[in-house]
Amino acid sequence: MNRKILLPLATVVAAGAIAVGSGASFSSTTGNTISAVTAGSLAQTNSKAGAAIFTIPNMKPGDTVNGSLTLTNTGTLPADFSLTEASSSNTFGGSDLTLDIVDVTTSTTVYTGTFGGLADGVKNALGTWAPGAAHNFRFTVKLSQDAPNTDQGKTAGATYTWDSVQLSGTTTEQ
């Protein structure tokens, strides 16, 4: 009788050992490469940075002087550009001394009027420029042919600031 019990018991123990010992199970693993974010940059170059756009000594009635510069978006982000007359002075009479500012690249008049007539400290929008975009600006100063003798020895001057500001943030789905 011992043999009759031992043989089935040995079979059950052997089957249990095989099932536990094999450890068979399915598994799966996935991964991602390193996710990264890099901030863009906002920068500009001015072909006459820190220098006068024009200097006009000994101007006489009827004279016209042109000055120019190139402004380039050298950053990696598109930006809204603007021109600000930071400060100005004009001792000429009335509208004897005029200024025209033109974005030659887009054939857009930025300002036309009396020299120093841009509101000091107010930004004048120039539009949105893509990275790498360059714009050429021409400043034309004219002393009226009819300027009176009282304009002799008068002076005028202005300081300009060019600004670029990032566009509003966006949401990107990937």
Residue-wise pLDDT for 75-87, tens only, equals 999 999 999 999 9
What would the mean pLDDT of 69-97 be, rounded to a whole number?
Answer: 96
pLDDT of residue 32: 81
pLDDT of residue 27: 83
Q: What is the extent of the structural domain holding 79?
A: 44-166
Collapse the DSSP code of 60 into the 3-class scheme (helix H, G, I; strand E, B; otherwise coil) and give the result.
Answer: coil
Average pLDDT in the chain: 89
pTM equals 0.80
> Which candidate, 111, 130, 124, 122, places its Cα nearest to that of 72?
130
Residue-wise pLDDT for 106-159, tens only, equals 999 999 999 999 999 999 999 999 999 999 999 999 999 999 999 999 999 999
How many Å separate Cα 8 from the centre of its chain?
A: 84
pLDDT of residue 35: 80
pLDDT of residue 34: 79
CATH number at residue 101: 2.60.40
Please check whether residue 72 lies inside any domain of the structure: yes
Number of domains in the chain: 1
